[in-house]
Amino acid sequence: MIALLNYLGRGFLFLLLEWLVISRLEPGPGWAPVLYPMFFFAFPVQFSASARIVFGFTFGLILDLGLGTGGLHAAATTAMAFVQPFVLRYFLSVDERENNLKPGPKSLGWLRYLWMAFWLLLVHQFFYHFYSLFSLGAPGMLLLRWLGNTCMSLALIALVQGLFYKKKN
The CB-of-129 to another protein minimum distance in angstroms stands at: 12
Confirm if 74 and 64 have CB atoms less than 8 A apart: yes
- Under the binding rule (CB under 8 A), the answer on residue 144 touching another protein is no
**Measured from the CB of residue 72, what is the shortest distance to another protein in angstroms?**
6
Binder to another protein among 68, 90, 94, 166 (CB under 8 A)? 68
DSSP per residue, 64-88: HHHHT-TTHHHHHHHHHHHHHHHHH
CA dist., res. 150 & res. 129, Å (int): 10
Task: Draw the binding track, 77-116, toward another protein (x: CB under 8 A; -: no contact).
Answer: -xx-xx--x-------------------------------
Cβ proximity to another protein, 78 vs 149, nearer residue: 78
Stretch that binds another protein, among 22-30, 66-74, 116-124, 140-148 (CB under 8 A): 66-74
Alpha helices by DSSP H, listed for 22-138, are 37-41, 49-67, 72-91, 94-98, 105-108, 110-133
Dist. CA 77–CA 116, nearest whole Å: 15
Kindly state whether residue 23 participates in binding another protein, applying the rule CB under 8 A: no
Nearer to another protein, 125 or 161 (CB): 125
State the Cα–Cα distance between residues 61 and 56, nearest whole angstrom.
8
Contact 105, 161 (CB under 8 A): yes
* Nearest CB to another protein, comparing residues 90 and 134: 134
Interface positions with another protein (CB under 8 A) = 49-50, 53-54, 56-57, 60-61, 64, 68-72, 74-75, 78-79, 81-82, 85, 131, 134-135
